[in-house]
Structure 1
Amino acid sequence: MLSRLNNYIGIERFTTKIYDFADTFINGAAGKNMKLDEIKTKPKSGDERLNLHDNLLQYNLIDFWRWSASDLLSNATRGILAEFIVGTAIGMPKNNVRAEWDDYDLKTQEGIKIEVKSAAFIQSWEQNKFSSISFNIKPGKARDLVTGKRTAICKRHADIYVFCLLKHKEKSTIDPLKLEQWEFYVVPTSTINKYGIEQSKIGLNPVRKMVKPVGYSDLNETIKKSLAIK
């Protein structure tokens, strides 16, 4: 009886391995040959509602945006807002949709590729002191538009960096939507490369030695002048 049971268990294990091998072979081969086209994102109105089997729920997309992005002082949301602010300064069309995985954040009508980084002294959480200011300048690998894979070479892919500093230091009145509370540092990537080709971060003092800050009203013209574009 015990011998039969062992034989049965052995057959079951063998059969399971055969099925696993077949599944890996078939799905693996299919996965290697599969080509999934890029999904072109279209702007949403905010009125789109959650639905279950086409039954509409009371919650819509703007409820999600309100829930997920109301804390404009959080590092992640402030960074995206900074991209949007720079986009408005360069005349970005209103129907543009943010491309999260591009090799740079924005492109001007003249073709200038922009990387946007943000920092702030004030955070939404309780603080004992102002936050130290630094900006991410880490080089990255480009994404191949055909294969979707990253290239082997690390570099900075934008033409310029715009460092956005939320300079306001009063918690009771800070509001990232008030553009006068920001200052902007427009630095050519060539200048950053001279600072450190493999450097991953840069502090505020080195940035201030490179360029002077400008306000929102002068940002677009400063971006154009940074590469001598009239």
Structure 2
Amino acid sequence: MKKLSPGTKIQGTQYSVSDFWSWGFSDILMNSLRGVYSEFLVGSALGVLQEPRVEWNTHDLMYRGKKIEVKSAAYIQTWHKGKYSKIKFSIEAKKSYNYDTNRYSTNAIRYADIYVFCLLKEKDKNQIDALNMEHWDFFVVPTQILNNLYPTQKSISLSVLEKNSRSVSYEEIKEVIDAVISGKN
């Protein structure tokens, strides 16, 4: 698979890939798209967007030989009806899928070395802007901490996450992950 360019024409039409993306993927508050967008944000902070995203990989990004898993949550959803969503992130162990054998592994584990939890924290539905990094908080947690403290837990709440890490800005993601990798954090 190779990365598409925004200007790539869709043959037989007057449209480009950019038109498709704009039409189909403008609602970043949509749960599934916000997750992919969060992966993009972390990947852009780390400078690892050279390869296209792989949907069913055991991890979301590779950085300095480490597997990074990105999770996303928001108080306000596309379908927001006045009640904020409860913030929790999936940390469930998973089985890996082997594309060569078309089979899942027998053991479920957490494959990533580091988790990055992305919170779209804005609570004002008239102000929320997923394209504004000031509306986001990021939490970087080594998987070993999750495995030690929550070995079988399937999700982690924001309050528990805040006890085990601190929020960082978009600009700090790389620095904090570098510190985790080098053992300084």
What's the TM-score, normalizing by structure 1?
A: 0.75
For 1:1-230, what aligned pairs fall within 5 Å after superposition? 41-51=1-11, 56-93=12-49, 95-108=50-63, 110-144=64-98, 146-228=100-182
Distance 2:102 2:58 in 1: 12
2:79 & 2:104 partners in 1: Cα distance? 36
Instruction: Call closer, same or farther: CA 1:146–1:229 in 2, change over 3 Å.
Output: farther
Residue 66 of structure 1 aligns to which amino acid in structure 2?
A: S
Q: Distance in 1 between matches of 2:168 and 2:90?
A: 20
Deviations 1:21-77 (A, max 9, x none): xxxxxxxxxxxxxxxxxxxx11111333444xxxx1223322221121100101011
Partner SS for 1:59: coil
Measured in 1, the distance between the counterparts of 2:57 and 2:80 equals: 34
Q: What is the letter of the counterpart of residue 42 of structure 1? A: K
Deviation at 1:181, TM superposition (A): 1.0
| Aligned-residue offset at 1:96 | 2.1
- Which protein has the bigger helix share? 1
Instruction: Return the alpha-carbon distance in structure 2 between the equivalents of residues 195 and 127 of structure 1.
Output: 35
Post-superposition offset of 1:130: 1.3
More displaced 10-residue stretch of structure 1: 213-222 or 120-129: 120-129
CA distance, structure 1, for counterparts of residue 99 and residue 54 of structure 2: 13
Unaligned runs of 5+ in 2: none
**Which residue does 1:29 correspond to in 2?**
none
TM-score (norm 2): 0.92
How many angstroms apart in 2 are the aligned matches of 1:197 and 1:68? 38
* Cα distance in 2 between the residues matched to 1:199 and 1:99: 25
Task: Give the total of aligned pairs.
Answer: 184
Name the amino acid aligned to 2:20: F
Partner Cα distance (1:201, 1:46) in 2: 36
Matched to 1:142, the amino acid is S
Higher relative contact order (CA 8 A, sep 6+): 2
User: Percent identity, aligned pairs only?
Assistant: 42
Q: 1:198 to 1:103 in 2, by over 3 A?
A: same
- Structure 1 window deviating more from structure 2 (124-133 vs 210-219): it is 124-133
Match of 1:3 in 2: none
